[in-house]
Amino acid sequence: MEKIMFDIKKLIKKAKKKQKTIVFPEVSFSDRTVEAVKILQKKKYVKVLLVGDASALILRDKIFEDFDIVNPVTFPDRNKLVKTLYEKRKEKGMTMEQADELEKDPYYFATLLVECGYADGMVAGAEASTATTVRPALQIIKAKNKKDPVSSCFLMFGKNKFLKGKPLILSDCGVLEKPDADTLAVIASQSVKTARALDIEPKVAFLSYSTKGSAKSEDVDKVRTAYEKFKRKEKDVVCDGELQFDAAMVGSVSEHKSPESPLKGDANVLVYPDIQAGNICYKTMQYVGGLTAVGPILQGLRKPINDLSRGCSVNDIVLVSIITALQCEDNNKGDKE
């Protein structure tokens, strides 16, 4: 079976061509972010926008004289950002005074810059919990489709004898704890869109501890129902479920356990039944399998905001920034005044 090596250089080339503006709210207190934005700026992978005090950053390193830096307190259109936050949250009881104070928070400020068109996407989380990054995104950017949740996935790739260079998309490993069948189907659809943005032709497996009825339980029924809902909606996507990991990923096992499967053991988008299974699996692949884990990549937002693992490396930040640029729609700045 032909395996296609994951070409990160091709994605970098696409990102450089797009030249999207990515805002980084943690540069004032994250050494890893500092090193990452230097690489991004030098190699021109994206346009870099930093949040912080320009004088303090330049005093720290003169290289920042060449960066665009914005301060939430002195930002020229600060009133517009405050008003935007207030309008988004007034129904939840937020006052104008509270919005004025919250705009000073670097994560809220950066998210508002994306919402109002001053940046195309945001990358943060090296020094903060997922909630700190995701909460402003859910409150300000919000889901692209109101009825659908925001989910996440991880891109996994690297030198591995088993995968032979094939990339994987794993979801949801970071946001939705106990998705029902409808939500699993949505997660799969969102993961398909992410895969295609990364030039990966999706082959989707809905994973379980059961393969095609080998076990019976409500948990298995949930996965099978999710697969059936997804299949009806995404008619052009190769998919199957419910499958055990080996039936989804190993051709010889698939021949015995699921001989009629269209995946034939070659799945590359793996949809896990809950966050525990997904999170454990991605970390196992990362540390035991030696794969690079990029994410969590947020899916389903109107505009791209991406969270970093607090254990991320400088290279991880660079890669997530490139992926964020690829997620950007070409008209993201259409609402800038």
pLDDT (tens digit per residue) in 200-234: 999 999 999 999 989 999 999 999 999 999 999 99
Asked if pLDDT for residue 335 goes beyond 80, the answer is no
Q: Specify the CATH class of 8-142+302-335 in words.
A: alpha beta
Give the integer Cα–Cα distance in Å for 20 and 121: 8
230/226 Cα distance (integer angstroms): 6
For the chain, helix, strand, coil in percent to 5 are: 45, 15, 40
Q: Give the model's pLDDT for residue 146.
A: 86
Nearest to 168 by CA among 183, 153, 180: 153
> What is the rounded distance in angstroms from the CA atom of residue 237 to the CA atom of residue 106?
40
Evaluate whether 175 touches 301 at the Cβ level (below 8 Å). Answer: no
Superfamily for 151-287? Answer: Isocitrate/Isopropylmalate dehydrogenase-like (3.40.50.10750)
In the sheet with 121-124, reading across from the earlier edge strand, the strands are 68-70, 47-51, 21-24, 121-124, 305-307
3-state SS assignment for residue 151: strand
pLDDT-derived band at 159 (thresholds 50, 70, 90) equals confident
Same fold, 8-142+302-335 and 151-287: yes
Whether residue 334 is predicted with pLDDT greater than 60 in this model: the reply is no
Q: pLDDT grade, residue 5 (50/70/90)?
A: low
Q: Read off the pLDDT of residues 13-47 as tens digits, 9 standing for 90 and up.
A: 999 999 999 999 998 888 999 999 999 999 999 99
Alpha-helical runs (H) found in the chain: 8-18, 31-43, 54-60, 78-89, 96-102, 106-115, 130-136, 181-197, 218-233, 245-249, 251-257, 275-287, 314-327
pLDDT in tens, 35-78: 999 999 999 999 999 999 999 999 888 989 999 999 999 999 99
Apex CA 52: angle with CA 47 and CA 54, to 5°? 85
Ordered by start, the domain boundaries in the chain are: 8-142+302-335, 151-287
pLDDT digits (tens, 9 = 90+) for 292-326: 888 889 999 999 999 998 888 999 999 999 999 99
- pLDDT over 70 at 12, yes or no: yes
What is the Cα 297 distance to its own chain's centre?
1
Strands 269-271 and 292-299: unpaired
